[in-house]
Amino acid sequence: MVSGRLSGFIVNELPKNIVFLVWLGINIFLFAFFYQKYNDTLVYHYSFILLGPALPLARAPAAVLNFNCLLVLLPICRNLLSLSRRACMCCPRRIRRILDKNIKFHRMCAYMIVLMTLIHYFAHSFNVEYMATAHDIVISPTDTPAVRQLKLLKQHLTAIGNLPNQTYLNPIRNKVWPVGAVFLLTGGWTGVIITLSLFFMVTSSVEFIRRSYFEVFWYTHHLFIVFYSFLVIHGIGMQVRSQNNTLQHNPIICAQVPPSAWNTNPNCSTTPTFVGSQPMTWKWVIGGMVIYVIERIIRLVRYSQPVKILKVIKHPSKVIEIQMRKKGFFAEVGQYVFVMCPDLSNLEWHPFTLTSAPEEDYFSVHVRIVGDWTRGLNAVVGADSADGNEVLPSWKMPRIAIDGPFGTASEDVFTYPVAVCVGSGIGVTPFASLLKSVWYKNLDPEKELVLKKVYFFWICPETHAFEWFGDMLSHLEQQLSEIGRQDLIEYNIYLTRGWDAKQAKAIAAHEEDERDVITGLEQKTHFGRPNWDELFRNIGQTHPNTHIGVFFCGVAALSHQLHKMSNKHSGNGVFFHYNKENF
């Protein structure tokens, strides 16, 4: 068992953990390096005296923010990911599968941005208060000599810049209320806008809002345009300042001398001069911004390319199938596209897995009618007026724009000798393309394929969920039988709930029938939930010394369970490589 867990860790966990540790190490290094720089560097000595520990505590997270604001855009540049996936086809599978964690990495960077923003924001809040209240310092007779010296020094440092040809250290030049001072500084009011934009983006990204109110998530997430626009100009005020004449005026020595005696001390006779730190954020984020702009330009080009809707099919269970054709369009197994309908919105692009095989002369998506946008699409394509499975005419169809296709983990399915494909509910859609492509590729008896066996599991919550997909499975089952490859795909369909006592009696009465009473397939439906522990053990024993690809699309709870089983049952020559669809 220890060997299995170790093998599972090496196969499924080690590559992504290495990437995580490298990313985390860079973040820790940047924080530590810049904290030390602003805490101990000679040129920031007077700034540290004026502001205290809040200075390095504000600047260190700023460096981490810059790094993650560069990275956070890259995982959502889908064309970049697809290009990287194709470029890595010669790499080991475990390396390519790191690209499937793009959304998780995007969230990791976002969480780090939120954390560093909070530290940066509150540290600078103290800095602004210290700079504003430096004009109100009062020397008390009860002050100790050390406190008196510090207050006198802060008074003097704040006053530098009032005379002609003097450069200032304190960017707040007049007595002002600290809250008001925030909006007098470029870094202050831009920081407020940046923080508010980030707040709305993060709060609208929680799973409940994404699932139930996708439009809210979609529109508020575009506040990233505001976020980056003000992030670039956030530092142009150069409020954090450093001394640029430390050779003529040593701040460590002079900080111990009363400012009134500076003129008599050879190390302090020259007035200190200060210069603002040059803004660096734009240098960090410009690369990611350029790549993302290119990404959007590609989407704009694809938006203008015509897409012909061949037909629309209304399936049971509130599912419609849209078959389309586009010049130059070619997709691999399991890839997905973004669909936009100008009649509904010029901004909303929604992801859908392709359900057609690469060998077919059209591409298709299956759309479940569950939200405002999908209900609108259902109406504009005329599916509301269709009866049963009537094929709707292609004339008077709305304009559709397609962006993609984009790569997913399913592209690697044909590189494994054995594949375990698990779909939960509507998560079965990626495997429609895969199963059809398996049949097409086996039509040529002279073509030797790596993939020899497919175990297909479909976990459905209710009987109606079978209706729209059952016809395709039945047709595929018949086609595989005609070419003598009925053993190539083993169906395992599980109905977890949704039957009553009457249906249970009907199921029992037809137990001996040649075909399943629910799906119409030769392979019978199972009732309840799969025993994954036993299933993985049996598959491993059936295929010793084999790399087995596990592909899943569906709910997170089942994904966690399958991931755990893949790790647990890897070992003794059998390796379960876990792949989860993300889009």
Chain segment 2-33, per-residue pLDDT in tens? 455 676 677 777 888 899 999 999 999 999 99
Q: How far apart are CA 124 and CA 188, in angstroms?
A: 9
Residue 472 shares a structural domain with residue 491: yes
Residue 70 shares a structural domain with residue 165: yes
| Beta strand 319-325 pairing with 363-368 | antiparallel
Average confidence (pLDDT) over 441-451: 77
User: What CATH number should be reported for the domain holding residue 433?
Assistant: 3.40.50.80
Q: How far apart are CA 116 and CA 124, in angstroms?
A: 12
How wide is the angle at C-alpha 180 spanned by C-alphas 176 and 182, nearest 5°? 110
Residue 250 lies in a domain: yes
pLDDT of residue 59: 92
pLDDT of residue 2: 47
Work out the pLDDT band at 291, boundaries 50, 70, 90. Answer: very high
Q: pLDDT tens digit string along 386-420?
A: 554 555 566 678 889 999 888 887 778 888 899 99
Judge residue 348's burial from the number of C-beta atoms within 10 Å of its C-beta, 0-12 exposed, 13-18 middle, 19 or more buried: middle
Residue 559 lies in a domain: yes
pLDDT of residue 176: 82
Q: Model pTM greater than 0.85?
A: no
pLDDT averaged over every residue in the chain: 83
Q: In what order do the strands lie in the sheet with 418-424?
A: 526-527, 489-495, 453-460, 418-424, 547-553, 575-580
Judge residue 494's burial from the number of C-beta atoms within 10 Å of its C-beta, 0-12 exposed, 13-18 middle, 19 or more buried: middle
Residue 122 shares a structural domain with residue 155: yes
Paired tokens of 58 = 């504000």
Domain tally, the chain? 4
pLDDT at 115 over 90: yes
Q: How far apart are CA 469 and CA 466, in angstroms?
A: 6
- Percent with pLDDT over 70 in the chain: 88
Paired tokens of 556 = 């997170």
pLDDT of residue 423: 85
Residue 45 lies in a domain: yes
Residue 195 shares a structural domain with residue 281: no
Q: In what order do the strands lie in the sheet with 319-325?
A: 363-368, 319-325, 308-315, 391-392
- 571 in the Ramachandran plot: left (φ > 0), alpha (ψ -120 to 50) or beta? left
Could you write out the DSSP letters of every residue in 381-398?
Answer: TTGGG--TTPEEPSTTPP
Residue 47 shares a structural domain with residue 153: yes
Domain end residue (candidates: 254, 288, 322): 288
- Which residues are bridge partners to 432 per DSSP? none
Q: How far apart are CA 550 and CA 422, in angstroms?
A: 8
pLDDT at 316 over 80: no
Residue 419 shares a structural domain with residue 501: yes
Instruction: Give, as one character, the DSSP assignment of residue 280.
Output: -
Contact 270, 247 (CB under 8 A): no
Contact 578, 538 (CB under 8 A): no
Paired tokens of 440 = 């097409």
Residue 272 shares a structural domain with residue 193: no
Average confidence (pLDDT) over 239-257: 88
pLDDT of residue 25: 96
Q: What are the residues whose beta carbons fall under 8 Å from the beta carbon of 172, sequence distance 6 or more? A: 128, 131, 132, 134, 135, 181, 184, 185
Locate all alpha helices (DSSP H) within 428-531, ordered by sequence: 429-441, 467-482, 501-509
Contact 421, 535 (CB under 8 A): no
Say which range, 342-351, 475-484, 489-498, 527-536, has the weakest mean pLDDT: 475-484
pLDDT of residue 130: 87
- H or E segment to which residue 405 belongs: strand 401-406
Q: pLDDT tens digit string along 37-86?
A: 999 889 999 999 888 899 999 999 999 999 999 999 999 888 888 888 77
- Extract the runs of DSSP E, i.e. beta strands, from 9-92: none
Average confidence (pLDDT) over 479-495: 77
Residue 392 shares a structural domain with residue 500: no
Domain end residue (candidates: 376, 406, 436): 406
Domain end residue (candidates: 406, 425, 451): 406
pLDDT of residue 131: 87
Paired tokens of 324 = 């389309």
User: Could you count the other beta carbons within 10 Å of the beta carbon of residue 323?
Assistant: 20
pLDDT at 515 over 90: no
Residue 296 lies in a domain: no
Q: What is the largest CA-CA distance in the chain?
A: 108
Residue 241 shares a structural domain with residue 366: no
Residue 294 lies in a domain: no
Q: What's the number of CA atoms in the CB half-sphere (13 Å) around residue 156?
A: 19
Residue 339 shares a structural domain with residue 442: no
pLDDT of residue 32: 95
Q: How far apart are CA 562 and CA 581, in angstroms?
A: 13
pLDDT at 134 over 80: yes
Paired tokens of 113 = 């941005």
Average confidence (pLDDT) over 95-104: 80
pLDDT at 36 over 90: yes
Instruction: Give, as one character, the DSSP assignment of residue 269.
Output: -
Residue 108 shares a structural domain with residue 253: yes
pLDDT at 92 over 70: no
Residue 39 shares a structural domain with residue 53: yes
Residue 212 lies in a domain: yes
Residue 35 phi, psi (nearest 5): -65, -45
225 lies in which domain range?
A: 186-235
User: What CATH number should be reported for the domain holding residue 317?
Assistant: 2.40.30.10
Work out the pLDDT band at 235, boundaries 50, 70, 90. Answer: confident
pLDDT at 119 over 60: yes
Q: pLDDT tens digit string along 535-545?
A: 999 998 999 88
Tokens 């392709």 found at: 354
Q: How far apart are CA 82 and CA 105, in angstroms?
A: 16
pLDDT at 422 over 80: yes
Sign of dihedral through CA atoms 145, 151, 154, 156?
A: negative
Residue 301 lies in a domain: no
Work out the pLDDT band at 192, boundaries 50, 70, 90. Answer: very high
Instruction: Give, as one character, the DSSP assignment of residue 271.
Output: P
pLDDT of residue 463: 57
Going from the C-alpha of 257 to that of each of 41, 146, 236, 297, the distances in angstroms are: 20, 11, 34, 61
Residue 455 lies in a domain: yes
